Amino acid sequence: MTNVLELRGITKRFPGVLANDKVDISLREGKILALLGENGAGKSTLMNILYGLYKPDEGQIFVREKEVNIEGPNDAIAQGIGMVHQHFMLVPVMTVTENVMLGIEPVKNGFFLDRETVSKRIKEISDQYGLEVDPHAYIKDLPVGIQQRVEIIKVLYRAADILILDEPTAVLTPQEVEGLFKIIKTLIAAGKSIIFITHKLKEVLAIADDITVLRLGTVVGSIKPEDATSEALASMMVGRDVNLTVEKTPAKPAETVLEVEDLYVRNERQHLTVQGVSFNVRKGEVLGVAGVQGNGQTELVYALTGLLPFESGAIRLLDESIHRAAPRDILERGVAHIPEDRQRHGLILSFPIHDNLMLCTYYKRPFAKGISLQPQPIFNNAEELVKEFDVRTPSVYVNAGTLSGGNQQKVIVAREFSRPIELLIASQPTRGLDVGSIEYIHQQIVKKRDAGTGVLLVSSELDEILALSDRIAVMYKGKIMDILDADKTSKEQLGLLMAGVHPAEASKN
């Protein structure tokens, strides 16, 4: 069988970093190659080289055994290479057809956009691969899973037969993931070849024909899925043995620390995104909030931490109402918050690590006397936390923005865990992190739980919810579908709830 795509000896240096070091990968025709690696392993750099966004310092690219020179995305497309980005590049207020034709708009009568031809072609593509996309629908009305299919159509419309899917399952429900896998299989059956970039081991094992693992810019190995296990792949990625299951003892829940009653919250655009949510969190337990992103979890957390005012209902923290309380007020009552968007809320990237490690307590002793900041205690605090939480950094003086995602998250965890807390609100605490960091942060959360802290864990990763939670609430369209005991539920059941279906109803149909 021929290799439809081959990268040979690709080397790319950035100042101080060897992003890719003599990387060889090959994609067989009609097969799925999974590219596996931690953040910063060089996956994105490699794909950006393939897509013409970076120029390699050394190395060659072969498409159908002919060496090619790719100077930009247009060259890549001309070679039949198409990329589906992790973050969709779609215009929400335009229709599917308009989005697909964007950039290569065909005209009729020399002047008018020819939407009909395009939508007909979209219909054909959609039927051929079982995508079920309505060409006339507006993007903003489509669920995320369908939006992703529009991205795939865009690539197919441009006649790509080598598809790069960058972390395609990150935003999908388990059911949507299954749908995507079905589509991928149809694409393969139609003779397409696919590079599938991910850090999720189970998906790799489920779908890939070949697996190539990258670590620190080099290929550490290529393996067939039938010869691999999750544990083996994880240790290849990280370079040491990894404990994939979180070890924890049964929870010993004590008194209630957080009580939420019939809560309604409007988001910044005045949409009512949390609609009558009630639950409680007790000391020493983890309540997981599962749900596909964008079902009100973000606003729920904002309301709990004082970042958004709430419309009606009640939030009681240690039996005290926090209606209209300011973020600092809530903070001082012992709430720690690992925010969903660490670069937006969690860190000031242009500040050194030592400042980020006292971001919430800078006005207190020992960091300040009166209004005067105290450099020595600030430095000492940073040194201790960096050591204790294993933040990999050349020094505490470097800016937080220079750290990798995992180390940035460790800085936040270190800061939030370093003050006395009663309640930990962790929102997507391991999003985009590598296996090693995930393992570490999970252990820390369990440790906090065992120390008697109440934990509210919001995550769209079902595996994470199942691994850490003692009870699980599922959110769908601003409401809580159900709250279940973690050991009496299954992934399938949760998946259905996440899609807004009660399992009882589902079995009836």
Partner 1 sequence: MSNTTALETKEKKRSALRSELLVPALAVLSGLILGAIVILVSGENPLLAYGALFKGSFGNPLDLIGGLQTYFSTGETRALLRAIYPFTESLVTATPYIFAGLSVALGFRCGLFNIGAEGQFFIGALCSAFVGYSIQGLPMIVHLPLAILAGALGGALWGMVPGYLKARFGAHEVVNTIMMNWIAFRLSDWLLNGPMKSSGFRPVTPNVLATAELPRIFPDPLRFNLGFFIALLAAYAVYWFLFKTTLGFEIRSVGANPDAARYAGMSVIRNFVLVMALAGGLAGMAGTAQVLGVDHWVGQGFSAGYGFDAIALALLGKSHPFGVVLSALLFGFLRSGATNMQSMARIPIDIISIIQGMVIIFIAAPDIIRWLYRMREVKKEETVLTRGWGS
Query: What residues line the site for partner 1 (CB under 8 A)?
Result: 14-16, 305, 307, 326-329, 331-332, 337, 339, 344-351, 355, 359-360, 362-363, 368, 371-373, 383, 394-399, 401-402
Nearer to partner 1 by Cβ, of 114 and 332: the residue is: 332
Rank residues 191 and 397 by Cβ distance to partner 1 and give the closer one: 397
Q: Alpha helix locations (H) across 158-293?
A: 174-189, 201-207, 230-238
42 phi-psi bin (left φ>0, alpha ψ -120 to 50, beta other)? left
**Structural tokens at position 278:** 């009630």
Q: Which residues contact 344 (CB under 8 A, 6 or more apart)?
A: none
Integer Cα distance of 71 and 332 in angstroms: 54
* Least distance in angstroms from the C-beta of 273 to partner 1: 18
What angle separates helix 115-129 from helix 144-157, to the nearest 10 degrees?
110
Pick 110 or 370: Cβ nearer partner 1: 370
* Of residues 259 and 332, the one with the C-beta less far from partner 1: 332
Q: Residue 362 or residue 491: which is nearer to partner 1 going by CB?
A: 362
Instruction: Tell me how far, at minimum, the Cβ of 341 lies from partner 1, in Å.
Output: 8
Question: From the CA atom positions of the chain, what is the Rg in Å?
Answer: 24
HEC per residue, 39-69 = CCCCHHHHHHHHCCCCCCCEEEEEECCEEEC
Task: Judge residue 65's burial from the number of C-beta atoms within 10 Å of its C-beta, 0-12 exposed, 13-18 middle, 19 or more buried.
Answer: exposed
Residue 299: how many other CB atoms lie within 10 Å: 25
Residues whose CB is less than 8 angstroms from the CB of residue 48 and which lie 6 or more positions away in sequence, other chains included: 54
Which is closer to partner 1, CB of 279 or CB of 351?
351
Nearest-approach distance from CB 266 to partner 1, in angstroms: 17
**At closest approach, how far in Å is the CB of 56 from partner 1?**
17
- The minimum distance between CB 11 and partner 1, in angstroms, equals 17
Q: Which is nearer to partner 1, 16 or 420 (CB)?
A: 16
Closest distance of CB 202 from partner 1, Å: 33
Using alpha carbons, list the distances in angstroms from residue 162 to 3, 47, 90, 152, 462. 11, 12, 21, 11, 30
**Contact assessment for residue 284 and residue 251, using Cβ atoms and an 8 Å cutoff:** yes
Among the listed residues 427, 410, 422, 412, the one whose alpha carbon sits nearest the alpha carbon of residue 302? 427
Rounded to the nearest whole angstrom, what is the least distance from the CB of residue 332 to partner 1 in the complex?
8
- Residue nearer to partner 1 on the CB measure, 350 or 509: 350
What residues contact residue 54 under an 8 Å CB cut-off, 6+ apart? 12, 45, 48
Q: How far is the CB of 34 from partner 1 (least distance, A)?
A: 32
> CB-wise, 354 or 448, nearer to partner 1?
354
- State the amino acid at position 97 in one-letter form: T
Q: Please, what is the minimum distance in Å from the beta carbon of residue 364 to partner 1? A: 9
Q: Least distance (Å) from partner 1 to the CB of residue 440?
A: 21
Contacts with 451 (C-beta within 8 Å, 6 or more apart), sequence order: none
- For 369, the enclosing helix (H) or strand (E) is strand 368-369
Least Å distance, CB 19 to partner 1, is 13
Cα dihedral 482, 483, 485, 490, rounded to 10, equals: 40
Interaxial angle between packed helices 405-417 and 435-450, expressed in degrees from 0 to 180 and rounded to the nearest 10: 10
Q: Which is nearer to partner 1, 272 or 373 (CB)?
A: 373
Query: Residue 452 phi/psi, 5° resolution?
Result: 100, 10
Nearer Cβ to partner 1, position 386 or 457? 386
- Least CB distance to partner 1 at residue 372 (A): 6
Q: Tokens representing 402? A: 């220079």
SS3 of 452-487: the string is CCEEEEECCCHHHHHHHCCEEEEEECCEEEEEEEHH
CB of 48 to partner 1, least distance (A): 17
In whole angstroms, what is the distance from residue 145 CA to residue 341 CA? 22
Which of 307/314 has CB closer to partner 1? 307
The answer to whether the CB of 179 falls within 8 A of the CB of 169 is: no
Q: Based on CB atoms, which residue is closest to partner 1, 89 or 397?
A: 397
